[in-house]
Amino acid sequence: MGIGNIFDIAASGIAAQRLALEVTGENIANVNTPGYSRQQVNMVSKLSINTGGVQMGTGVQVNAVLRSYDNMLQQQVVAGNSSYQENLTRQTSLEQIQPSFNELNADGLGSAVSGFFGAWQDLSVNPQGVAERQALLSKSAIMVDNFHQMNASLSDVATNADNDLTGIAADITASARNLALVNSQILATQAVGGNANEIMDQRDLLVRDLAENAGITWSLQSDGTATVSLVGLGALVSGTQSATVYTEVNGTKNDVKISALGAAQDPGDAALASQATGIGGRLGGTIAVRDFIVPGYLASLDSMAQQLVTAVNGQHALGSDLQGNPGGAFFSGTTSADIGLDPGLDSNKVAASLGGGVGDNTNALAIAAIQSSNLSFTTPSGTTVSTSTERFYNSLSSTVGIDVQGAQRSTAQGNAFLKQMNSLRNSHSGVSLDEELTNLIKYQQAFQGASKVINTATNMLDTILNMVR
């Protein structure tokens, strides 16, 4: 055991502390990088040797740069992202729908229906009045316009959702390609024994991104690559191969389809069934809006229009108009989209009487009574209820409110859960500047200490050499 050994030990210390300072620098530099996991230097003492019966150490070595990582948390964050984004998408669309149904501070379809029946009441007081007949026609036109507006705003939300699918599919495809690329980088780095920490962070971030867009099942392979498949669609990324997710026009809607792994788009590719459960993510939320939420409200609105048309037309046909002719159709159409005033209708053809006299108001009274009579409507969930038109409309807007509130609560809960998970992840993997700065001082002092050892050893060597001279 000679003085040379002191140099070796000190040199190993200098090298190890320098590496630790580098890792600290990397951590500090990446303090705000999304998905970055802090790295720690794992130092171990070198093998000891036996010198003259005494076990002596031979310095320090860095055996690994470890990444602080908790796979359990990653799983939770991935699942949380999917359901949070799904609810957020539903909430956004529902909040666009809600104003159409909001009559708490503005007039809408509900008061238009009130106005329509009110005009029949007015007509019943003066059945031959030209002003009353004109007022009835304009109130009817207002109600028809309201049906059209609501239909248009609901349909717009569905159309926007349908258009969004193309962008979501493209996002998924891009993330899948990047993930396949990252997988191949992981394989390449590990093949040459390199440290793939940063690439693994990228991999985890891409998996989280994918989960935001769609519900996924995923697993990590022993070689460090991630395998991902989409719920309802199938394999998306495996090893270095990825599939293409795309939309294809089918009638008035887009189908979401997936190609085979590493293959081009093919007409035989599987399409996503909208009834598939747990689609999740933005994709699931968007499909729910397009295929279930909006069609549900539209069906209710249509049943309202259809019931009103049937009831009013039926009673109107029993009456006779100012000329004594039998009442024709009052409304045309059967849905909220095509309801309209019958083209042949004018103020003289409003059939207010049953017996034919111009002053007879009995049919006007009968039509006005439809306001409080029970008709058979379809709720957004598809059940049939028997209630009056306005009560049905009020409960419909209440249903929209409940749906919005439900989506808002789910989103808020999902957000709180994600925040908690991200806090835990941050606590585990996030960079703490204070900690890194402390480490900086720690490693710097160790570095200075090791340098001092070399300095001392040099002095010792000088002393010995001077003895010889």
Partner 1 sequence: MRVTPGMTADNALYNLQQGRALMDSLQEQVASGLQVNKPSDDPLTARQILDLQHQIAQGKQYTSNIMKGSTLLNVTNTALNGISSIMTEIKKIAADNVSGNGTQAERDAVGDSLDALKKQLIDMGNTEYGGQYVFGGYQNDQPPFNSDGSFNGSEDELSIEVAQGARVPVTLKGGEPLRGTGGGIDILAEIENLKTAITLDPPDTAGISGQINTMGAAADQVTFGLIKVANSLVRMNSANSLVTNNQNTLLNVYESKQNVDYAKAGVELTKLQTAFQAALASTAKISQLSLLDYI
Nearer to partner 1, 117 or 330 (CB): 117
Nearer to partner 1, 37 or 229 (CB): 37
Q: How far is the CB of 79 from partner 1 (least distance, A)?
A: 19
Nearer to partner 1, 171 or 436 (CB): 436
CB 286 within 8 A of CB 268: no
Q: How far is the CB of 137 from partner 1 (least distance, A)?
A: 18
Q: How far is the CB of 204 from partner 1 (least distance, A)?
A: 16
Nearer to partner 1, 102 or 458 (CB): 102
Type of residue numbered 270 = A
Residues 6+ apart with CB under 8 A from 432: 38
Q: How far is the CB of 73 from partner 1 (least distance, A)?
A: 13
Nearer to partner 1, 333 or 357 (CB): 357
Nearer to partner 1, 338 or 390 (CB): 390
d(CA 334, CA 398): 24
CB 226 within 8 A of CB 218: yes
Nearer to partner 1, 124 or 242 (CB): 124
In this structure, the strands spanning 60-67 and 54-56 are unpaired
SS3 463: helix
Q: How far is the CB of 249 from partner 1 (least distance, A)?
A: 34
Q: How far is the CB of 197 from partner 1 (least distance, A)?
A: 18
Residues 6+ apart with CB under 8 A from 75: none
Q: How far is the CB of 114 from partner 1 (least distance, A)?
A: 5
How many CB atoms are located within 10 Å of the residue 453 CB?
Answer: 17
Q: How far is the CB of 372 from partner 1 (least distance, A)?
A: 6
Residue with tokens 């769609």: 214
Nearer to partner 1, 4 or 355 (CB): 355
Nearer to partner 1, 426 or 459 (CB): 426
CB 356 within 8 A of CB 375: no
d(CA 294, CA 409): 20
SS3 374: coil
Q: How far is the CB of 321 from partner 1 (least distance, A)?
A: 13
Footprint on this chain of partner 1 (rule: CB under 8 A): 31-32, 95, 98-99, 101-105, 110-111, 114, 117-118, 121-122, 124-129, 353, 355-361, 365, 368-369, 371-372, 390-391, 393-395, 397-405, 408, 415, 419, 422-423, 426-428, 430-435, 437-438, 441
SS3 102: coil
Q: Return the structure tokens found at 266.
A: 């093919």
- 219 burial level (CB within 10 Å; 0-12, 13-18, 19+): exposed
Dihedral-angle region of residue 373 (phi above 0 means left; psi in -120 to 50 means alpha; beta otherwise): beta
How many Å separate Cα 132 from the centre of its chain?
A: 51
How many Å separate Cα 92 from the centre of its chain?
A: 9
